[in-house]
Amino acid sequence: MTLSGGLTRPGERDRLIVKFTEIDWTFCLILCLIAGAGGMMMFSAAESSWMPWAAPHFIRFGVFFVMMIVLAMVDLRVWFAAAYPIYAVALLLLVGVELVGDAAKGAQRWLELGPVRFQPSEVMKVGIVLALARFYHGLSADNARMSWWLLAPLLLIGAPTLLVAHQPDLGTAILIAATGLAIMMLAGLSWRLIGAGVVLGVGAAIPFVMFVLHDYQRQRILTFLDPESDPKGTGYHILQSKIALGAGGLLGKGYGLGSQSQLDFLPEKHTDFMFATLAEEFGFAGCFSILFLYGAIIFMALRTASVSHSHFGRLSAAGVTATFALYVLINGAMVMGLAPVVGVPMPLLSYGGTVMLTVMIGFGLVQSVRVHRYSEVTSGRGALM
């Protein structure tokens, strides 16, 4: 509220200042370091040019960083009230992709709204976290452990996973499903159900690969098992990535001196395989440093989740952290040849506006949980009281 002269009331201004000081600025600094490293690697990959990747990367991060700080000020009860609507909008956007989506490179994953082109599946990564956190907030421990109530979160997870997989975008579908299942486990899912799910998943893996996946997706898995079988075709990406990793050695070839990236042997050197570009120029030391920063972010976000007084806050922060950790795990494994190539970037290090937006919105939620960690979120009409 404001006074007649347009000035902020002293009490409200003081509350905003207190909220601002409650933000974890060490966390923010580490995000800046990772994004800064990504921008400098894009500058190197573009042969010491700010365009076409480095300058847009820094500009986007600056805008999204401010947005994260603003979202950190939003009361946790507002996030709670908006959880289901955000999920519903994200689901409708995914349906819109099926009907009128823009196709490119054999996949229909984008929507165009005027000059804006974006992937609704990225919005769902936040939507699924909020929706499941709100659902479990009002559920008893016994019902969260094992009951018919568990059909609801399975439907919440299954609908977007199937829509995204149909685009097809297997990497994002895996991220959405894995994040949802992680929240179910954190909410107290019975270990018996978890064990049964693992057995069922292992048993269904071969039929799923043989009869459900598209031909190119199936070929990616076969290439992952034996990349040398097609070194100039489907195995090219992973073989070039391994060469870049090995060439870096302990300390790397030096900034701007990576032959794999500078001579364009390494495909997608600024997006999916940015970590390999970093490895060639800065070696094991550079990779360890970046992974240490990622580990610090994950640890600090989980610590924020642990101190929240509301179940919604704990699950929201933990869910965002799970998504971020899965990004790092899947991309790292993919680049090192320990997982099939599924098109998952390294967050903040790789080029990509929509992914960065999703990550920073998620971290805005994490910081909101920290700032409002003592808030009690109630279910029903009193949620915003």
Residue ranges per structural domain of the chain: 22-372
The pLDDT score that the predictor gives to residue 82 is 94
N- to C-terminal Cα distance for the chain? 17
What one-letter code names the amino acid at 41? Answer: M
The pLDDT score that the predictor gives to residue 106 is 60
pLDDT tens, position by position, 76-86: 999 999 999 99
Q: Does the structure show a pLDDT above 50 at 385? A: no
Band the pLDDT of 126: cuts 50, 70, 90.
Answer: very high
The pLDDT score that the predictor gives to residue 7 is 45
The neighbour count for residue 201, using CB atoms within 10 Å, is 11
In whole angstroms, what is the distance from residue 255 CA to residue 351 CA?
18
Least confident of 51-55, 234-238, 269-273: 234-238
Q: What is the mean pLDDT of the chain?
A: 86
CA 189 to each of CA 35, 46, 136, 139: distance values in angstroms, whole numbers, following the listed order = 35, 47, 11, 12
Q: Which residue has the higher pLDDT, 318 or 261?
A: 318
The SS3 call for residue 374 is: coil
Segment 167-172 shows an average pLDDT of: 84
The pLDDT score that the predictor gives to residue 212 is 65
The pLDDT score that the predictor gives to residue 341 is 82
pLDDT tens, position by position, 245-303: 988 889 989 898 888 888 778 888 888 899 999 999 999 999 999 999 999 999 999 99
Q: Does the structure show a pLDDT above 80 at 103? A: no
* DSSP per residue, 147-192: SGGGHHHHHHHHHHHHHHHTTT-HHHHHHHHHHHHHHHHHTT--HH
Say which residues have a Cβ less than 8 Å from residue 373's Cβ, sequence separation at least 6: 304, 307, 308, 309, 313
Diameter of the chain measured on Cα atoms: 74
The SS3 call for residue 151 is: helix
Q: Does the structure show a pLDDT above 70 at 2? A: no
The neighbour count for residue 330, using CB atoms within 10 Å, is 22
Radius of gyration, alpha carbons of the chain: 22
- Which residue's structure tokens are 């915003």? 384
In whole angstroms, what is the distance from residue 88 CA to residue 123 CA?
11
The neighbour count for residue 123, using CB atoms within 10 Å, is 23
Q: Does the structure show a pLDDT above 50 at 6? A: no
The neighbour count for residue 71, using CB atoms within 10 Å, is 20
What pairs with residue 107 in β-bridges?
Answer: 104
Q: Does the structure show a pLDDT above 70 at 4? A: no
Segment 229-240 shows an average pLDDT of: 78
The dihedral through the CA atoms of 256, 273, 122, 46 has a sign that is positive
The pLDDT score that the predictor gives to residue 35 is 96
Closest CA to 125 of 365, 368, 314: 365
Share of the chain above pLDDT 70, in %: 91
- Kindly compute the dihedral angle of the four CA atoms of residues 274, 178, 124, 84, in this order, to the nearest 10 degrees: -150
The pLDDT score that the predictor gives to residue 211 is 64
- Asked if 41 and 252 touch (Cβ cutoff 8 Å), the reply is no
Q: Which residue has the higher pLDDT, 118 or 313?
A: 313
What one-letter code names the amino acid at 12? Answer: E
